[in-house]
Amino acid sequence: MDIFMVLALIGGLVMFLYGMDLMGDGLKKLAGGKLESILAKLTSNRFKGFLLGFGVTAIIQSSSATTVMLVGFVNSGIMKLGQTIGIILGANVGTTVTSWLLSTAGIGEGGSMIMKFFKPESFTPLLALLGFLMIASAKNDRRKNTGTILVGFAILMFGMEAMGDSVAALKDNEAFTSLLTMFGNNPIMGILVGTLFTAIIQSSSASVGVLQALALTCAIPYSTAIPLVLGMNIGTTITPIISSVSGNTESKRVAFSCLYIKMIGVAVVAGAFYIINAFVGFDFLKDTASAFNIAVVHTLFNIVSTVILLPFCSLFEKLAIATIKGKKDEETDTFSVLDDRFLDMPSFAVEKSKDLVCEMANISNESFRLATKLLDEYDDDTFNKVKKLESKVDKYEDKISTYLVKVAEKQIAAKESRVVTELLHCIGDIERISDHALNIAEVAQEISEKKIDFSDKAKQDIKIITAAVTEVLYIAIEAMTNDDLDMAKCVEPLEQVIDRLKRKIKNGHITRLRQGDCTMELGFILSDLLTNYERIADHCSNIAVCFIEMSHDSFETHEYLNNLKSGDVTEFKEMYETYKAKYYME
């Protein structure tokens, strides 16, 4: 085997791995985060878990990707360890689908013209061309992702063919033949080599594919193929183990569950197989295994081991807990859902980020509610709660914005990109709302300390504008949380009414000041309070307008507001009049 053969083999392997990655990425994007959401909402039923694990892995073509998802879910507190065992077993079977796709490389040898057409080297160029045309002419993400899948599959098959061609000369090489024979005579060595090779490339589908490529041109006996396939199944567990290094105790237990399931499965199946072989002597072990036969071996192992191990899911959970010491119910950090593992699942990462933004908005709303409560009855405990909530919102802003920037750096679909942009704009406004809530609490503290008492008219006016701001804040948050465009359109008319209320209250204060019914000091405090109310309403407007404009793939917020204020917008005027009547002030 000369240097050029090695280079050709490396080139084929790189094409194979890249094609598999490209195809898997396209499949995940086409699913649009639905697969991750389904897994995250799974019940503890092990049989449902098995079916979902099988289905998801068969679609995304990678058990490693599925198990890394599970590590992230458990690390984030979305799932429990016990829920993952059935899914892992299902993923082990689902990953065999790839080997069946690759086994088509053996079709058409010496057959009719029709059968030869079904050889990958015949139809993959057409798939590559179709995929390229779909990507080049794509007007939506769905079409582009479908094209990516087709191109990825074509590259994968070309890579497999290149690997097969590069090692074709090895079939007559005595050294290579001796190496294969060594694995056949020493299955433990074969298992170790298969484990090591798969641990390096971190994909059992890819390593089995390489073995299938070798089988196309070299005479690989079953005695060699079987232990290699068994080892490859163990080697794929390296990915979740690496992924769990930075995780919490529970996520590490998930990774070790993957390892134990594979190791015990191999030990049981291989032990039974070779013990029976010692007494019976399977003649087929000397026969040559085709790419199709290797797919059969890979699938049979995973099905048989799953059938044997599925009833013992709880034992694997106990074994993982015994291995990784720690508190089973350790507290999960609020921000653990912002897991870097989810960056490879942009749709899911964006969904979880939005959930946290909505939590952040509700905290700001609670802060405002407590702050306005202090205006009626001040107490230090409530004031301190408002301060703590404001600090909490600051932390939310820092963590979420940092994570969203990471998501934005990924190649994400237009829909996810729109949501990321919307969230990045909204979190600043939400944080400012909590700041103004704290300012209101400080105004209430000043009123209490100076024993200031507003006139009955001023108190009534403050109650009216407080109710209006409370409603506009509620509408803005609900619109953002539920993606409710109709509610979002209600914000700006109410914000305009709040501006009007502020002007009326200020004018009323000036009138009372002239009449000697009020003081300058009261005026400064009232002005601070009204300014904070107005700013909160402005930030609610920013949130709603951002949501409305982004829903139209635009961000011309100033143009939108100008059109509302100067244009003939009947709906806006009707809502404005309704809110003006609701918050009528004499």
- What is the tens place of the pLDDT at every residue in 259-277? 999 999 999 999 999 999 9
pLDDT at 537 over 90: yes
Two tokens at 500? 């009007």
Neighbours of 520 (CB within 10 A): 8
pLDDT, residue 148, reads 86
* pLDDT, mean of residues 534-562: 75
Model pLDDT, residue 297: 92
- Lowest mean pLDDT of 396-405, 491-500, 550-559, name the range: 550-559
107 within 8 A of 118, measured Cβ to Cβ:
yes
Most confident of 15-19, 29-33, 245-249, 314-318: 314-318
- Is residue 88 predicted with pLDDT exceeding 70? yes
The arithmetic mean of pLDDT across residues 141-166, rounded, is: 78
**pLDDT band for position 247 (cuts 50, 70, 90):** confident
Contacts of 241 (CB under 8 A, 6+ apart): 255, 256, 258, 259
419: Cβ contacts below 8 Å, ≥ 6 apart = 350, 354, 550
Band (pLDDT 50/70/90 cuts) for residue 558 is: low
Banded pLDDT at 176 (limits 50, 70, 90): low
Measured CA to CA, the distance from residue 120 to residue 110 in angstroms comes to 15
Average pLDDT over residues 343-362: 88
Task: Read off the pLDDT of residues 565-574 as tens digits, 9 standing for 90 and up.
Answer: 544 567 788 8
Please say whether the beta carbons of 20 and 206 come within 8 A.
Answer: yes
> Which range among 68-72, 309-313, 326-330, 370-374 has the greatest average pLDDT?
370-374
> What local confidence, expressed as pLDDT, does residue 413 receive?
75
pLDDT value of position 43 = 58
pLDDT in the model for residue 288: 86
- Within 10 angstroms of residue 409's Cβ, the number of other Cβ atoms is 9
Contacts of 127 (CB under 8 A, 6+ apart): 150, 151, 153, 154
CA distance 433 to 312: 52
